[in-house]
């Protein structure tokens, strides 16, 4: 069940924006150092990308499955190493 159907595109939009503006430009450096910069990890946490279906009371954003799936295509375009 989708709780807020009018906001269904929001996870995809925020994931795409993060991917294009922050993650992709840093991919080469992350591949060279074999590390993800702490600032990027912090941004991913703030966007709830590490546990999108885990409830907010546990520090994530608590997406329903359908909402979570909306953001997956954008993240799938980034390097699997990140």
In a domain, 2, yes or no: no
Residues 14, 71, 22, CA angle at the centre, nearest 5°?
A: 45
Segments forming the whole domain that contains residue 42: 8-75
Residue 81 lies in a domain: no
Is 60's pLDDT higher than 70? no
Give 76 or 35, the one with higher predicted confidence.
35
Which pLDDT tens digit goes with each residue over 1-39?
A: 556 555 555 666 777 788 889 888 998 998 899 888 999
Q: Is residue 80 part of a domain?
A: no
Range with lowest mean pLDDT among 8-12, 25-29, 46-50, 60-64: 8-12
Q: Is residue 82 part of a domain?
A: no
Number of domains in the chain: 1
Nearest-angstrom CA–CA distance, 24 and 36: 12
Q: Is residue 34 part of a domain?
A: yes
CATH of the domain at 47: 1.10.540.10
* Residue 44 · residue 50 · CB < 8 Å: yes
Mean pLDDT computed over every residue of the chain: 74
62 belongs to a structural domain: yes
């Amino acid at each position: 069940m989708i709780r807020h159907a009018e906001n269904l595109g929001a996870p995809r939009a925020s994931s795409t924006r993060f991917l294009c503006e922050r993650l992709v430009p840093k991919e080469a450096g992350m591949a060279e150092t074999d590390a993800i910069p702490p600032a990027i990890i912090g941004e991913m946490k703030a966007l709830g990308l590490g546990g999108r279906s885990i409830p907010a009371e546990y520090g994530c954003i608590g997406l329903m499955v359908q909402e979570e799936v909306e953001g997956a295509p954008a993240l799938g375009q980034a390097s699997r190493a990140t």
